[in-house]
A and B are shown apart, each in its own frame.
Chain A
Amino acid sequence: MSYSTFNRKQFDSLQQPMFFGENVNVARYDQQKHPIFEKLIEKQLSFFWRPEEVDLSNDRKDFLKLEEHEQHIFLSNLKYQTLLDSVQGRSPNVALLPIVSLPELETWIETWSFSETIHSRSYTHIIRNIVNDPTKVFDDIVVNDEIAKRAISVSKYYDDLIELVNLYNTLGLGVHKVPDRGEVVVTMKTLKKALYLTIASVNVLEAIRFYVSFACSFAFAERTLMEGNAKIIKLIARDEALHLNGTQHMLNLMMSGRDDPEMAVIAQECQQDVINIFVEAAQQEKDWAQYLFKDGSMIGLNAQILGQYVEYITNVRMQAIGLETQFATKNNPIPWINAWLVSDNVQVAPQEAEISSYLVGQIDNDLDGADFDDFDL
């Protein structure tokens, strides 16, 4: 029932499920039911970065040199990513914190969401550096039809869960009459089903929806264009891969029944819904690729190749949570992207760009041969 910010009951938090058990009380991490979430927190903290560390002065020059249709590709992707991280910077907190029952998971959710706010800040940093009037870019996010379609898909499941949990926390279980909505059935089953679908939809968001944008950013950087942006995207991609791990664990734990036996039943019942969420997202991303390239492609990428990549990455992500793959594409059509997605350039360095582990305090992007003229060996 009603949420308490400090549950006064005495209980063993190791016996609680991830969600819908007791409200959390003492934020303690010396014992954990699922140690993975504590490990994810530590990893995320070790990844900490700030967008201002990345110099974008060359990106501005590059952006002005891009063809008009390439500027469209670049800005559209930034807008879409801004939407995704606007949702992700708040929704895990709003939707999941009121129902979480494990302290390590609660803190993981907060850490995860916080890192998404860094991503949002970095889009502002990029946009402010490359265009004269950022307002034009940001204002379009809410009115652009192509982005709006995706906004509905990425927020729908969160919003359903939040509504049900609000009713549960104020009125409890039962059938409630809600103005403008009619009767809403709040049972443990409808709550848990809404939760499961939300986690699945977030998993898809972080597993697939970012990758068309990532591919375009790295394709520019392969041509030594917009390299500051690529460096930021590399850091974002590293974070997103970790967040993906978080939702994959939640889903796998739920499916296995090890955390909450009732959740395993719900996972079984919802399997087709989850497959549909994956397939729908893949289709939307393929449509998005068509929109990006409507006025022309860029070197190394076109809508068809990106579509195949979306299918491929969807297969990879579905396999990770034990689902049957749904697409025929079994090979990565743009394998060069992995050299950019790798956590750090220790093994395969795209030599033209700076290495992200040397970010802190780095100030100069503009070295040329003349800078070494007065060096004597």
Chain B
Amino acid sequence: MTTLISKPEHQDREVHRVLLGKKQILVTEDEPLLPQLERAGVQVEYQCREGYCSSCMIKLLWGKVSYPVEPLAWVNSGYMLTCCAIVKSDIEIAML
């Protein structure tokens, strides 16, 4: 469930739930998914970290993500690039 949290030092910001198998990780819209997954201890493949190599592509089972800048890599529907996608709702993802 997407929730709104208030912190005195920040504006209100949305936190979304990322489901990965039995794991659940809370992420914000402040940065792409990849660094947030890494901080949560999830190993994600990556290479360029700027959207052209497609190494960080994972399955997006449901939910919404957006790309502030259109990535150069081809992204098939049902997939997402973690290095540059901002999570916009609760989502469920799957690795290889």
Please give the residue numbers on chain A whose beta carbons come within 8 Å of chain B beta carbons, in ascending order.
36, 39-40, 43, 237-238, 241-242, 244-245, 248-249, 252, 312, 315-316, 319-320, 322, 325, 330-332, 335, 338, 341-343, 347
Contacts and interface: CB of A to CB of B under 8 A. Distances in A.
12 contacts: A36-B72, A43-B52, A238-B48, A245-B72, A252-B74, A252-B76, A312-B96, A319-B57, A320-B57, A322-B76, A330-B96, A347-B49
Given A320-B74, A347-B49, 17 more contacts: A39-B72, A43-B52, A43-B72, A237-B47, A241-B55, A242-B52, A245-B54, A252-B74, A252-B76, A316-B55, A316-B96, A319-B57, A319-B79, A320-B54, A342-B47, A342-B49, A343-B47
Interface in B47-75: 47-50, 52-55, 57, 72-74
Contact of B72 (A40, A237, A319, A332): A40
Interface residues of B, number: 20
B43 A335 contact: yes
B27 to A, nearest CB: 17
Nearest to A238: B48
B53 A245 contact: yes
Interface in B67-96: 72-74, 76, 79, 95-96
A160 B52 CA distance: 30
B73 A248 contact: yes
Contacts of B14: none
B57 A248 contact: no
B45 interface: yes
Contacts of A335: 43
A325 B35 CA distance: 25
Contacts of A40: 72
Contact of A330 (B48, B49, B53, B95): B95
Contacts of B50: 343
Contacts of B54: 244-245, 248, 320
